[in-house]
């Protein structure tokens, strides 16, 4: 049971990515006196940074080094065959 709870909560409804409908932020006690615009900007920034991080990770997956190595080996083999045929 909760009694005497005094929390400031920021709710973000426009969440990108499709997995979540909304995000709730519980404001730290020391930051409750900050203007609402500052708190909202920080919350929006956190959500957008999190979405950007997700997309950044998807570009550089664990398979990327393997693919680059295979491409380099293929290019080397192609170069060797080309030199041998001259």
Contacts for 10 with CB less than 8 Å, ≥ 6 apart: 24, 25, 27, 39, 40, 43
Mean pLDDT value across residues 3-13: 74
pLDDT range class, residue 1, cuts 50, 70, 90: very low
pTM for the full predicted model:
0.49
CB 10 within 8 A of CB 28: no
What pLDDT, on the 0 to 100 scale, is given for residue 42?
87
pLDDT range class, residue 23, cuts 50, 70, 90: confident
Contacts for 17 with CB less than 8 Å, ≥ 6 apart: 51, 54
pLDDT in tens, 29-58: 888 888 888 888 888 888 877 765 555 555
For the chain, the average pLDDT equals 77
CA dist 45 and 48 (Å) reads 5
């Amino acid at each position: 049971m909760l009694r005497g709870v005094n929390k400031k909560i920021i709710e973000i409804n426009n969440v990108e990515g499709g997995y979540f409908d909304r995000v709730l932020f519980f404001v730290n006690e020391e930051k409750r006196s900050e203007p609402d615009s500052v708190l909202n900007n920080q919350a929006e920034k956190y959500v957008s940074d999190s979405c950007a991080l997700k997309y950044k990770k998807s570009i550089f997956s664990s398979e990327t080094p393997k693919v680059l190595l295979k491409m380099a080996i293929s290019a080397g083999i192609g170069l060797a065959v080309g030199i041998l045929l001259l």
